Amino acid sequence: MDKKIIIFDTTLRDGEQSLQASLTVSEKIQIALALERLGVDVIEAGFPISSPGDFKSIQSISKIIKKSQICSLARCLPEDIDIAARAMERAINFRIHLFLGTSNLHIFSKLKKSFNEIMDMAVSSIMRAKKYTTNIEFSCEDAGRTSLDNLCKIVETVIKAGATTINIPDTVGYTTPTQFKKIISTLFNRVKNINQAIISVHCHNDLGMAVGNSISAIEAGAMQIEGTINGLGERAGNTALEEVIMALDIHKKKFNKYTNINLKEIYRTSKIVSQFCNMPIPINKAIVGKNAFLHSSGIHQDGVLKNRENYEIINPNSIGLNTCKLNLTSRSGRAAIEYHMKEMGYKNSDYNLNELYIDFLKLADKKGQIFDYDLEALAFFKKQQNIEEYFKLEYFDVQTKLSGLSVASIILMCGAQTNIQKATTSNGPVDAIYQALNKATLYPIILKKFHLEANGEGKDALGKVDIVVQYKLRNFHGVGLATDIIEASAQAMINVLNYIWKSKQVNKELEKKNNI
């Protein structure tokens, strides 16, 4: 019979601890609501003794969240426990999460106590927490480096005292999956009252094994997994919950386990956490990374177009992502070219695939990544790729005042003859020069993305600006590189404007052909 794995999310506690800036109460509420929609069983909303802001956030979340359990972290100290309970008093169902170091390293060097004193602290803290709730979790901090004899002793003792969930954290990401599985198996074999509590695990990713350790713990009998969305957390982060959830789903026959997670909310929740926490998702991140469902190799692209299962074990639709991305580079094959042309509405009879592919490879070697509008130009207006750029920025000057207003003046060459001069005022130097360029070209464009990164250090560092502009429902990409950020921004926009102009020439050429 399938058994449920409890999903315990600590994005708002352990995850938030790792951020450069604390989340606001409003941001935490939005994340908590997203976690509830996702179907998370337990939301660890914070560590209320740590700050008045954390206390207020937990209070607010406790009033709003109805389906998930709310949990607060507390040290094994009376004041911590009392404040944790007070912060959650408006919650429908809440849990107090106690933690205490159990490894010799933590006991002697951090806590300056004996193991027997630690046992007494744990028991007295559970007794105090029982005044507020019977839903008590106890974490053996640094369990991964705790001797098995001591770990078994304290687990048996705290269960007897009334803890209903026992968490076995690999606090510093020390163990390997084989070692961690042995720890959990030993507890089940040696602790007499082990079946009176839920065994949970909380793994860190210092050696990149957090998810592997969590899965191995499930195999050994653990029934609760603790982690965060996108793997946020102290140092190298926590177990990425989306990875564990999908591993259980893909291998449901092997594990005979299930979760209450709404899989279609995974991608949206990941994006919400990334945006509010200002923590970009690595492009190669499993499940939710930009490249997770992107294919560049020609062999892979051909295989995916024939049957997605050839190179994808997860259907992106299942996590709420409706996309099939075939990246166009020099590694792409004819199948990807044909797919992109079809997506743009062209039939095979409209162009010569073999000729297009040869031209495509030449341009891809020069440019790196190819976009749909490049394919159009190659297929229907090939000569356009070899002529000089239509728009050239001959001169620009930007003056910024203390008020924040900036005045940009430009001289833009349009073709061989036309010289346009424009001046605009706007908030910020980049926006001012973009407004001037827009007025000069009269293209109704919308800036969708602006990304700046520095290459190198010091005054000679190059600023790389990558932008995406929407023009008539199509996206155009542009890149600028210069030691001056404003110049790099201007280059990127000129790059885009030239792509738009070329695309317009392609459309004119097609209209001529259709009228013949």
Among left, alpha and beta (phi > 0; psi -120 to 50; other), residue 370 is: beta
Both tokens of 287, joined, read 């499940």
Among left, alpha and beta (phi > 0; psi -120 to 50; other), residue 415 is: left
Rounded (10°) angle between helices 115-129 and 148-161: 30
The three-class DSSP label of residue 345 is coil
Among left, alpha and beta (phi > 0; psi -120 to 50; other), residue 279 is: beta
The answer to whether 202 is annotated as binding is yes
CA dist., res. 89 & res. 85, Å (int): 6
CA dist., res. 392 & res. 301, Å (int): 37
The three-class DSSP label of residue 22 is coil
DSSP string, 414-438: ETTTEEEEEEEEEESHHHHHHHHHH
Rounded (10°) angle between helices 25-38 and 266-277: 170
CA dist., res. 133 & res. 43, Å (int): 16
Helices (H) and strands (E) in the chain — how many of each? 18, 18
The answer to whether 300 is annotated as binding is no
Please write down the HEC assignment for all residues of 306-344: HCHHHCCCCCHHHHCCCCCEECCCCCCCHHHHHHHHHHC
Both tokens of 166, joined, read 């026992």
The answer to whether 340 is annotated as binding is no
CA dist., res. 201 & res. 358, Å (int): 54
The answer to whether 249 is annotated as binding is no
How far from 510 is each of 31, 268, 375, 498, 515, CA to CA, in Å?
49, 40, 14, 19, 9
What residues form the annotated binding site? 14, 202, 204, 238
Q: Which residues are annotated as a binding site for Mn(2+)?
A: 14, 202, 204, 238
